């Protein structure tokens, strides 16, 4: 029997997200959805050596606004992990998270007009 049976090649993808979040499963602070836009704040006094590599990558990728879902995909991390990282970064003032722009597709009159046009076809 091996001393460290739980440490094998298959543990990597499970252990890494656990370590990134400190074992937490829920983000803190105000909630945000998958389409929320993340933008790096212009923080000049950050010592890159004090930030985790994932934080630095988020800041690099979010120089321009980027949706949470796209960021999770680009980082190749589970969405839940990215939400926790982003909430931590927001608390530290590293990123801003804004709701997506509202679409006119929620306008009841527009939806009624589209439905009427479809019925006429």
In a domain, 1, yes or no: no
Count the alpha carbons within 13 Å of 55 in the hemisphere toward its beta carbon.
Answer: 22
Q: How many domains does the chain have?
A: 1
How do residues 51-88 score in pLDDT, each as one tens digit? 778 888 899 999 999 999 999 999 888 888 899 899 99
Strands 95-98 and 66-67: unpaired
Look up the domain containing 16 and give its range. Answer: 9-120
Count the alpha carbons within 13 Å of 70 in the hemisphere toward its beta carbon.
Answer: 11
The answer to whether residue 2 scores a pLDDT higher than 60 is no
> Which ranges of 22-99 would DSSP assign to H, the alpha helix?
53-61, 68-75, 79-91
In a domain, 56, yes or no: yes
In a domain, 108, yes or no: yes
Residue 53's CB is within 10 A of a number of other CB atoms, namely: 9
Bridge partners of 67? 37
In a domain, 66, yes or no: yes
In a domain, 3, yes or no: no
What is the value of pTM for the model shown?
0.66
Q: What is the predicted pLDDT for the residue at 68?
A: 94
In a domain, 40, yes or no: yes
Place of tokens 């939806």: 111
Once rounded to an integer, what is the mean pLDDT over residues 28-43?
86
Choose between 5 and 33: higher pLDDT: 33
Per-residue tokens: 64: 């321009």
């Amino acid at each position: 029997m091996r001393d460290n049976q739980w440490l094998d090649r298959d543990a990597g993808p499970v252990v890494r997200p656990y370590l990134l979040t400190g074992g937490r499963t829920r983000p803190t602070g105000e909630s945000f959805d998958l389409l929320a836009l993340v933008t790096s704040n212009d923080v000049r006094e950050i010592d890159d050596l004090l930030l985790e590599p994932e934080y630095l990558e988020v800041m690099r990728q979010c120089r321009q606004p980027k949706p949470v879902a796209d960021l999770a995909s680009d980082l190749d991390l589970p969405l839940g992990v990215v939400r926790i990282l982003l909430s931590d970064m927001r608390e530290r003032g590293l990123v801003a998270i804004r709701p997506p722009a509202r679409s006119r597709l929620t306008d009841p009159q527009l939806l009624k007009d589209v439905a009427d046009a479809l019925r006429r076809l």
